[in-house]
Amino acid sequence: MAFPPNFLDDIRTRLPVSSVVGRRVRLIKRGREYVGLSPFSNEKTPSFTVNDEKGFYHCFSTQEHGDIFTFLMKTQNLSFIEAVERLAEEAGLEMPKATPQEAAEAARDTKLREAAEAGCAFFEQMLHASEGRPALEYLKNRGLTDATIKRFRLGYAPNGNLLKNKLTARGVSEDLLLDVRLVSPGKDGRESFDFFRDRVIFPILDMRGRPVAFGGRVMGEGEPKYLNSPDTPLFHKGQMLYGFSLARAPAGDKREVIVAEGYMDVIGLAQAGFTHAVAPLGTAMTEAQLAILWRLAPEPILCFDGDRAGRAAALRAAERALPLLKPGLSLRFAMMPAGKDPDDICRREGAEAMQAVLQAAVPLSDVVWQQLLAQNPADTPERRAGLERAAQAKAGVIADESVQGQYRQLFKTRLFELFRAPSGGQGGGKGAKGRGFPFGKGRKGPTPDRFAGFPPSRPPGDADSARKHRERILLATLLTHPDIFDHVEERLGRLDFADSRLDLLRQTALIHVAQDPELDFGGLQAHLASIGFAAELETLLNSTTYVHAGFARPTAPKEQAITGWDHTFALCHRADLEADLKRAELELVENPSERALAAFEALQKQVRPPGDEDSDEL
């Protein structure tokens, strides 16, 4: 949408940057500017400035820079149009209408929203009236507090046509009530009637928190259990998510969003502290909903019930997401224990139990791989070829070439691991063990001892490649086994990784484990992903690493992890010494002297100490 030239300037004039930013950041006046702690980083010394005269903010720690529109887009996950709409309303300005037809549509849209708001307020009022006492007791018995009921604007739809009668008496036209489907048209000449009757009401709010539709649940026996508004001019269920307006800011802060299956799951999660939860509206995940989720977080966590229907829903979501993947954008899947949903776990076992489920979430790639294994037996050469072809075909549906290439490589690595014969055994396993995600029964297969032992003494590639490979193994082992921190801290802290992002991840991981010695693998992984290292973790913690270093797997015993880490570090140290030895040898040739000879011999003894004849194994 194009705006008149002066419209945005009028908003900027009416709303100083400090007034908009100051609602989120505590600002202190210093001369002509304001300063405060950056909302874009966890800092203790103010590096964030606001200048009303120039109309911008600037963060020196992250280099974020912009005006009031940019600030809302960055901090509240708004689109540009949404930011303009919100600030225009705050500034007391009407959004411009390009044509008379658009103006008429906007006026009609406003009337429809007013009708939906009137219905929502009616339902809320009825919940606390005598007619709504059973509904209120139902919600209280589900463990909901008054604050939660108010936050989600829960209500009650009484029997009869009370809503229609009350609202039309207040001047809301029946046509509007029909258009937002609070009222259903009568058939065969009969009168229209209230769409929702004797149900607990869950208002569905748009991205700005305005009611546009409703879901109603029976409190006892009856079908359908849930009755939802059909699509209307205000509401398109495939393009919205329940709870989005309330979850948007917390999800932006955490860089994480949870996707549950239903209204009560979202509400129960929020009451337990997981305020960044949403749900689709009774449909399979759509492309539009995935796009909304990826605006909130790079890897939304999908929570599905642990029954057959939940697994089927997870697979449908995986199939829908696969063609849409982009670098850094994917999904994770957390399956509930059988017979439980997020609301059950939060109410009966507490937030810690729910957090454990979330931390055990597996990446989309694992779900796809498990589906391939479940659908393609691999107990004969022909079936193995079929599995290989199916895997490459599955990767081929991904539109982005770089992500597709990564999936092809991942599947090749896993196929190699799956088919490789155990030491001393016969070639060809019959399948693969499950990877912690309950799809199919999983088949027993080869788990060669070599995958749990030391990494190859000479990884493929040149010396630089080998060095980087070993650095990745060292870091991956710490991430999967934070309890070895005391053993490796000093040596890992001295290293300087060639890859700058992995080096930053190394430093960050060391700091966080030092600050919280009780961190386990899941907690550390979740925290690092939440602060921007999800892509690096994905490249580190996968079978490409584990095939060379089985001891780095999260399931490997601590003692094995320590032994493997020490061995890998020794190889790194040996590589450094050998490089120093080559330089010393060159110095001795070019500038022979007693000093150069002594340095060369000292390094030679360190690289090949007396009695060390099997140097290739070090």
Domains in the chain: ranges and CATH? 5-91 (3.90.580.10), 100-235 (3.90.980.10), 239-360 (3.40.1360.10), 367-447 (no CATH), 463-605 (1.10.860.10)
Torsion of CA 46, 52, 53, 55, to 10 degrees: 100
pLDDT for res 61: 84
Predicted confidence at residue 599, as pLDDT, reads: 66
Q: Report the pLDDT value the prediction gives residue 180, as an integer from 0 to 100.
A: 95
Q: How far is CA 162 from CA 122, 123, 131, 135, 355, in A?
A: 10, 10, 11, 16, 43
Q: Where are the alpha helices (DSSP H) in 379-439?
A: 381-396, 401-419
Q: Which residues of the chain have pLDDT under 50?
A: 421-462, 609-618
Q: Which two tokens stand for residue 308?
A: 């057959």
pTM strictly above 0.85: no
- Beta bridge pairs of residue 33: 30
Q: Return d(Cα 134, Cα 137) in angstroms, integer.
A: 5
Which residues in 366-495 belong to E strands, given as ranges? none
Bridge partner residues of 226 (DSSP): 217
Specify the amino acid at residue 168: T
CB distance 258 to 301 below 8 Å = yes
The first and second tokens of residue 535, run together, are: 């892509």
Q: What is the pLDDT of residue 598?
A: 66
Cβ distance 303 to 268 under 8 Å?
Answer: no
So what's the pLDDT on residue 512? Answer: 78
* DSSP at 142: T
What is residue 578's predicted lDDT score, i.e. its pLDDT? Answer: 56
Percent helix, strand, coil in the chain, to 5, is: 55, 10, 35
Is 203 within 8 Å of 117 (Cβ atoms)? no
For 161-195, give the DSSP string: THHHHHHHHTT--HHHHHHTTSEEPPSTTPPPEES
In angstroms, how far is CA 453 from the centroid of its own chain? 33
Q: What angle do CA 258, 263, 269 make, to 5 degrees?
A: 45
Token pair, residue 387, equals 């599995």
Instruction: Enter the DSSP assignment of 58.
Output: E
Q: What are the CA-CA distances from residue 480 to residues 320, 385, 516 (Å)?
A: 30, 33, 15
Q: Please count the CA atoms within 13 angstroms of the CA of 316 that sit on its side-chain side.
A: 12
Do residues 397 and 323 make contact, with C-beta atoms less than 8 angstroms apart? yes
Residues 153, 163 contacting (CB under 8 angstroms): no
pLDDT of residue 587: 65
Cβ–Cβ < 8 Å for 560, 541: no
Amino acid at 54: K
Provide the residue type at 31 as one letter: G
Q: What is the pLDDT of residue 444?
A: 34
